[in-house]
Amino acid sequence: MTTAAIILAAGRGTRAGGDLPKQWQALAGRPVVAHALAAFAGMPRILVIHPDDRARAAAVAEGVQLVEGGATRDASVRNALEALAGQGVSRVLIHDGARPLVSGAVIGRVLAGLDDHPAAAPALVVSDALWTGVQGLVTGTRDRTGLYRAQTPQGFHFDAILDAHRRHGGGAADDVEVARAAGLDVAIVEGEEDNLKLTFPGDFARAEAILKGRGMDIRLGNGFDVHAFCEGDHVWLCGVKVPHSRGLLGHSDADVGMHALTDAIYGALADGDIGRHFPPSDPQWKGAESHIFLRHAAELARARGFAISNCDVTLICERPKIGPHAEAMREALAAIMALEVGRISVKATTSERLGFTGREEGIAAIATATLVKL
C-alpha cells in the first residue's frame, strides 16, 4: 500500500504582500513550500507548480516530481493525480503548499481515517461566534452549530479520488467537495490551530514564532531478533517469501527482519517492543502476520509527529542468500511503512560459520531506524 503526497503550489496569491506568491516567500530562512514538502518526507511527493516557478522549485524539490498546474485548483490536482495513475499508489494526501506547519500528528490522523473511509480530512470546530457585517457594522449573527474550518492534507483512496476528479465538472473549492460530489463519505479528523494557511502578512510572523518553539527532535532506535530454523521449505524475510530447505520457528510468519525493524521504531519512540504492543499470550495476535506490527509502529511514529527518515536492516545467516531478494524486501518494507524505497536499506552478512547462525541453527537480524520531528 503506497501513500503519495501532492503539494499544491501553483497559485499566484499575493495577498500576503511581497512580489512573490506566498508559497515561495521565505519562512524561517527557506521557502514556505519547502516546509510543506518536508512534512511529507518519506512519501513519494509531487509538487504542483506554475511554469514561471520551475527554477525556484528545482532548488527546493530534490527527489520530488514536478507537475505543472492548470488554470484552476481542481485542474492542478487533476494533473497531479493523472501523473500518479498506474504507479501503484493506493492512497493520496492532497495538501496546500501554503500550510507549512502541518504536523505528523495531523497527517497520521488523516491516514488512520482512511483505514475506515474512502476519504478523510482535518478540520476544527468553529468556536467563535459568527457575524455578518457590512461596512464595519454588525448586521446579524449566524448559528455555528455543526460548522467546521477545513484544513489540509485531505486524504483519499487513490482510485476513488482520481475517478471523482475525472467525472467532476470543475469549480470545486477543494477535493472534499469533489469527493462528495462523487458520493464518497468523508471522515472528519481533528486538525490543529498551528496548521494555519499563510494568507495575510501577519501570518508569517505567527508561523515563525511557532517554528521557533518547535526545534528539531531526532530519535534513533535499534532492534534485534532471532528465530530458529525448523522443518519447512521457505522462510519469510522482510516481507518476502524466500525458498529454503528449512522454515523459521515462531508465531505466524516468524519474519525476523521485520520484527527487528518494528522493534527499532518502537525503540526510537521509547515505547516498548512488539511483545508489549502485541502480547503473544493474547489469542488475537497468535499467528498475526508481521506487517501488522510494522505498520502499527510506523503509524504510531507518525501519530507522535515523527517522520521516519531512514531504516537499515541487516540479516545474519549463511543461507539462504539474501542478495537476490534484497530489492524486493526494500520495496515490501517501503509499501508497509508508506515510505520511499530510497530510505530503506536491507543487507546481509554471514557470521563466518561461527556461532548459531554459522552452524545454520537460525537467522538473526539487527535494525536501526531514525525518526525526525521538525
Among 66, 69, 70, 45, smallest CA distance to 57 is for: 66
Please choose, out of 55-63, 110-118, 219-227, 321-329, the segment that lies near Mg ion by the rule CB under 5 A.
219-227
Instruction: Estimate to the nearest angstrom the gap between the alpha carbon of 250 and the chain centroid.
Output: 30
Q: Judged by CB, which is closer to Mg ion: 31, or 257?
A: 257
Measured at CB, which residue is nearest to Mg ion?
259
Nearer Cβ to Mg ion, position 198 or 237? 237
Smallest distance from Mg ion to CB 125, Å? 43
| 8 beta partners | 48, 96
Judged by beta carbon, residue 259 or residue 330, the one nearer Mg ion is 259
Question: Which of 58, 249 has the CB closer to Mg ion?
Answer: 249
Which residue stretch of 103-111, 182-190, 223-231, 353-361 sits at the interface with Mg ion (rule: CB under 5 A)? 223-231
> What gap in Å lies between CA 23 and CA 31, rounded to an integer?
7
E strand segments, the chain: 2-9, 26-27, 30-31, 45-49, 65-68, 89-96, 119-125, 130-134, 137-142, 148-150, 154-157, 186-190, 217-230, 234-237, 240-243, 247-248, 307-316, 344-349, 362-373
CB-nearer residue toward Mg ion: 158 or 236: 236
What minimum distance in Å lies between the beta carbon of 261 and Mg ion?
A: 11
Report the residue number, 96 or 225, with the smaller CB distance to Mg ion: 225
CA 69/CA 128 separation, integer angstroms: 35
Binding to Mg ion (CB under 5 A) within 242-271 occurs at 259
Q: How many residues line the site for Mg ion (CB under 5 A)? A: 2
**The pairing of beta strand 186-190 with beta strand 119-125:** parallel
Question: Which is nearest to 298 in space by CA: 349, 239, 210?
Answer: 239
Give least dist CB 44 to Mg ion, A: 30
| Residue 126 to residue 120: CA distance in whole angstroms | 18
Minimum CB separation of residue 219 from Mg ion in Å reads: 22
Of positions 53, 225, 253, 331, contacts Mg ion by CB under 5 A: 225
The residues of the shown chain that bind Mg ion, judged by CB under 5 A, are 225, 259
